[in-house]
Structure 1
């Protein structure tokens, strides 16, 4: 039986050193439909040029943020939530470094199977002048299973029932009977924004029970 193969421009010497005496030959063809499409000539979104000038514009815009005067707040609280090791503390350190103009590491960070952050800790962001900006990032334990924050503790955080620097204990979940539990929090003590920090490289590996939580 005579069979003709398409070498796609390659010579016989490059494929099998010119030797055509074979006893068995298997050929597989792999196709990719995406490669047949014409390349996209335009970007899917418009964005400014990333340079020092644009960085300065962004930082000035963020630094000028102020809560609405009707709320009576000096700053807003941003709660960072996410699995262990996704970089919640590192995210705050990065933001703080940008505004300080140098590398800072106020929030302890690292890599481990258990959360390095064990307390509910609010961090302010300061400019180079030393002035505090009008928002603060609230760091807390990672959403690990089974020792991380549970749904009830998350609700207490959002509602402002947990006082600053409260030390979480997986063996003893927080309850209204705990010392320091804030029974009637005011607007200043509540969470105004939630920031979910997730590692994009491992997003497909997030446990299903964590996603449900």
Structure 2
């Protein structure tokens, strides 16, 4: 995950190209452009300087225009999922588990983190959105990760007591909440992540 910033004019041109593809409802073109950009500048800078401003700008669209937002987010997700992926590569043991909180269907941030970790040649087990808490506990027992990151987009799904209970049930596992849905203070043993850089850092194998 490169730390280099994208020049302003380059980022603006990239945003315009992605926006045009989304307006055409061409999520495949969005995915291709995303892969091209991330290959040149790295996942982190492309997400922070191109994707986030674009996605933020989608807020307030009228109902008939929501399809454009969906084309943009779906194209970004598809491009991220293909990026640096080697389907036959085994997941490293004692790794990272990523999942959306129960009833949480918006987990684009986890796809960004998974792509950033693959970029660094580190794997992660991404179990997708809306994973029930019981299923997450079962997955932790089976996969034995050293770190678990649970994404919540809204306070409806960001239930701090659930995350804290998960951390207490698995004291050897580091448990984090990511996304804007965690508005409550997360007492130990859980903790909150506020940026992609911070999330990638905590996914390092603990010493």
TM tier relative to shorter chain = under 0.3
Return the TM-score normalized by structure 1.
0.27
Return the TM-score normalized by structure 2.
0.28
Rg larger in structure = 1
Higher relative contact order (CA 8 A, sep 6+): 1
